[in-house]
Amino acid sequence: MNRPLTFLSLAVATLLVIGGCGGNSPSTPGGGDGTNVLYTAVKQAAPTFMPAAKSGNRTINDQAMMVAYQLLRNYTYPDDEGVIDMSNIYKVLWETGRYLDEAPTRCAAVTNAADTDLSPFAFNDFLGHSYALGMSEEEGGYGTSIAYGATGDDRRMLASYKWAPDAAQQVTIGVIQAQHNAVTGDAAVRFAQTVQYPPGSTMGGVDGSGFAIRARIDGNSTTHAFELKMAINGTSIVGKGISRGAGNWFLFRCGTSYYCIPAEATEADLAAAVATDLAGVPAEGAAYKDALSAATPYDIATDLPSLDLSDFNGGVAGTPVQYLMY
């Protein structure tokens, strides 16, 4: 069961562990040259919020908008190294998306298996893939496993990771499933992660603490149309719309509150966003309000991974290799 955290506690915890959730892992792939196809495609599909200068995440008072900003704030490598951690979806995509680029040359043949058999987290919305290549690697307190498959222009990846160079202070476990088609521009992501501060640790205190994240994004990098669900501890959001282009809008819902936001919104736009009920959604968001009112958000009690790491099997309690059982 997830320990409830106040939003302030979560924000403080996130700031204090900046750079600590795998961002500088020695097992991070790629040459840092800015090429990362999956990362780029999802950023062109889903909203990417640019920060206000030297804001330090302090300008947004609405909790739902603050969570949206935290999860979808722009991340650019290497400028944001040490500034944004793995509670940000684009940071996660940067770290894991390069596995998709490099998997054909780094992975070896494995017994073909479905994602439902491989994943260390029981997604209830699997993309329904199978994989024929895979690898695992470990260095110090870091570990990564990758499963890869491709059919024509369609590429598929399931990657899991563990960050625990000091397991007495913090253990981060995550898994991301992704699909990208370079011709159609379609991209899909499923992501779940738990950060655990064990009992007796500096961040966890006597009883221990932590936070859990879950997200799914389906979109297109050419049309910029997207749908998403995302949750972090006590806040769950669904969204739909067009993320780029003058005159376009998208709509978010958190509980019974709706937020109509302009495409290419910034931190300032989120700070100015006004919550309405369904009847009050303005004309700019009318095309999406019926779909969002019917959408099922992640259930905080049942859909987020447990802080005790029990939802991630296959090596989490022991060696940080072989998260995916090929």
% of the chain with per-residue pLDDT over 90: 67
Q: In this structure, what token pair is assigned to residue 299?
A: 């259930």
Write out the H or E segment, with its range, that includes residue 42.
helix 37-45
Please tell me the predicted confidence (pLDDT) of residue 14: 33
CA–CA distance, 243 with 262 (Å, rounded to integer): 8
94 pLDDT exceeds 60?
yes
Which is more confidently placed, 324 or 82? 82
β-sheet bridge partners, residue 51: none
Cα–Cα distance for residue pair 307/211, rounded to 1 Å: 7
Q: List the domain boundaries for the chain.
A: 7-294
Nearest residue to 172 (alpha-carbon basis) of 147, 191, 146: 191
Asked if 128 contacts 115 with a C-beta cutoff of 8 angstroms, the reply is yes
User: What mean pLDDT is reported for the chain?
Assistant: 85
The pLDDT, as a whole number, for residue 139 is 82
The predicted pLDDT at position 55 comes to 52
Q: Which of 22-36, 101-115, 263-277 has the lowest mean pLDDT?
A: 22-36
For the ranges 29-43, 67-81, 94-108, which has the lowest average pLDDT? 29-43
Nearest to 212 by CA among 321, 72, 86: 86
Facing residues of 130 across strands?
Answer: 114
Coil vs helix vs strand at 77:
coil
- What share of the chain in percent tops pLDDT 70? 84
Looking at per-residue confidence, does 188 or 110 come out higher?
Answer: 188
Beta carbons within 8 Å of 31's beta carbon, 6+ residues apart: none
Strands 257-262 and 186-197: unpaired
Per-residue confidence at 7, pLDDT binned at 50, 70, 90? Answer: very low
Average pLDDT over residues 273-302: 98
AA identity, residue 142: Y
Instruction: Say if CB 323 and CB 309 are below 8 A apart.
Output: no
Top pLDDT among 132 and 23 is at 132
Q: Is 155 exposed, middle or buried (0-12, 13-18, 19+ CB in 10 A)?
A: buried
Secondary structure class of 250 (helix, strand, coil): strand
- Residue 13 pLDDT > 80: no
CA distance 117 to 191: 17
pLDDT band at 326 (very low <50, low <70, confident <90, very high): low
Segment 93-100 mean pLDDT: 91
